[in-house]
A and B are shown apart, each in its own frame.
Chain A
């Protein structure tokens, strides 16, 4: 039993257990579910986060001309398309043999920091603040952004306007707020005009100030709920992220750094154009999503965690002063406890948002943004790899292009895929801590969602769900007979097929 509870990935005798499913979980592009297997005493034997979606982009990009990739592949996502737009562009830079001009790189960086700002603001304020400010099992009727707007109008307003500003940065650099075309193989198709620069400059000081306040909100949440935030879904993980040559946080470009769960460096400043020598992808029969692992550790134990918590804790420093100060305070907090906590993701995310705001301010004062040398090319290559630190973590795009300019192979390892096993570990911990041996309630179910949300997995429908995603929990006995059902509709209303389930 101890062994089973330790892993919780695969129960020894699933045929004897009850199955409880959260399906769909509005997490990964709308098609994910969590399944729990319970015995007659409500003890949990198996917990899995299934990504049941099949996107197919790697297949249908085949045959298309390579310059189409940055525009087509970004359609994977409506939340952080800029990340795919830029990762594909970086891969295509390799294909066309380009070394970017200063203007091209800075316009792309500006686009990326705008993306980071809007995505982090969206996640923290719109999606997670209801859990964090009201409580995980608070009144579900109020646990949403509308409830936040009523109880904390200033915080809600700041969240909306921070996101809006990031979207405007994207519009100026990419042509559209969502799914623009600004980045092309070898550079960009437009610079930032004086008028556009001045338009963004007029609000940037306020954005930096609000970002600082957001870091303060995340810190206060930790201080007020220290035991909960320290322990909730806590687990140790290896890490992977990009760092600049000098070890600084760099969200746009760098070398790969991997450390084991004890902090030992496995590789550093690794040239990502050969990522497959250090990372491999495992396949499990119960999920469409692959399970990447560090080759040096192996498929069983080599899974790792990416994203804000990893980047903030594993970089040597953040190259903007306010975010660097915030990073130091984060690492020093309570003897360093927040740096290893799953809910530390939120604090780290706000530090990155502050960093992005500072970077935008710095770039807007750089005259290179108005340069006119936008595109370069060089020796044509057959293979291109682009890696970027997307809001949710390391994002890898890998293409092979034939002599006719057609893509013949594509491999995408998105941030959520890197975090697949880590998210599973997170919800298993929560299941052990809060669900094992107890009657299921909506509030308890939300604990699982809170753990998943901490990772901010890339799922567009969560943008709309705001804690009201449709859920259906079925209790089925070993013979497959439905015992009871707890349902939550899109409008947040609950319905019960019988009263076997307790409610909160």
Chain B
């Protein structure tokens, strides 16, 4: 490895391949950078801002920033972690995230980040939005209360499933997830349990019905290791489940 193919992340040399982003190279090398809207199988989105790093004193989203040789990047520093903590607090305050009875608990990235970033208080007044469930589909439940607008389901349905089942509507604070049906109900879409869109939700919005809580405590993804110790699980990989050219 020579100097032209590495950059520094928090003082450590990180190798990269041509075309990789800072996030991809860091994860592939086992260095965790917090993220929510990034997924190794999809094009970077750059919306959640959890992966913000400092490069030469300026901030950038590491999931969209191309890796370059010789960059000196700061990520795991209190200044940035404090901002990430605030972002996570805002996400919790915007939705209705009731972890104690959520079936995604232990497998939820937002919850795992909350623990990892040591979010001990709400920080903001909860907005308690009114977001009724969509339970119309016989096998799939949509619990909009937990949506963080990462658009992973939108991208998965569009790019992999070729269906465009999901989209975001509205602007600003009224932005929300919708489904592509005149009735507005999931049952009137062509979603299927085998769709990629069923796999990618980082929180507990898109759920297979009647299987909640079947995985015992202790066996869930973040029961075993904190999210920051699971960088390699999110390292770059080829898209799986593609049904659409």
Contact = CB atoms under 8 A, between A and B. Distances in A.
Interface of A: 63-65, 67-68, 70-72, 75, 96, 174-176, 179-182, 184-185, 189-190, 375, 404-406
Contacts of B213: 67-68, 70-71, 181, 184, 189
A181 B217 contact: yes
B214 interface: yes
Nearest to A374: B214
Contact of B103 (A67, A75, A406): A67
A226 B100 CA distance: 47
A175 B217 CA distance: 5
Contact of A184 (B100, B133, B136, B214): B214
B103 A175 contact: no
Given A63-B132, A406-B135, A189 B214 contact: yes
A174 to B, nearest CB: 8
Interface of B: 100-101, 103, 132-133, 135-136, 141, 209-218
A280 B107 CA distance: 42
A72 B214 CA distance: 15
Contacts of B216: 175, 181-182, 189-190
Q: Which 9 A-B residue pairs are closest in the complex by CB-CB distance?
A: A175-B217, A72-B101, A404-B135, A190-B216, A67-B212, A189-B216, A181-B213, A71-B101, A184-B213
Nearest to A69: B101
Nearest to A188: B216
B133 A63 contact: yes
A405 B208 CA distance: 12
Contacts of B218: 175
A65 B103 CA distance: 10
Contacts of B214: 184, 189, 375
A68 B135 contact: no
Contacts of A67: 103, 210-213
A64 B214 CA distance: 17
A75 B214 CA distance: 19
Contacts of A70: 213
Nearest to A173: B216
Given A174-B217, A406-B135, 17 more contacts: A64-B101, A65-B133, A65-B212, A67-B211, A67-B212, A67-B213, A68-B213, A72-B100, A72-B101, A75-B101, A176-B217, A180-B217, A182-B217, A189-B215, A189-B216, A405-B141, A405-B210
Nearest to B211: A67
A68 B103 contact: yes
A184 B132 CA distance: 24
A406 B133 contact: yes
Contact of A404 (B101, B136, B211): B136
Contacts of B101: 64, 68, 71-72, 75
Given A75-B101, A176-B217, A179-B100, A68 B212 contact: yes
19 contacts: A63-B132, A64-B133, A65-B133, A65-B135, A65-B209, A67-B210, A67-B211, A71-B100, A71-B101, A72-B100, A179-B100, A180-B217, A184-B212, A184-B213, A184-B214, A185-B210, A189-B216, A190-B216, A405-B141
Nearest to B136: A404
Contacts of A72: 100-101
Contacts of A180: 217
A96 B209 CA distance: 13
A378 to B, nearest CB: 13
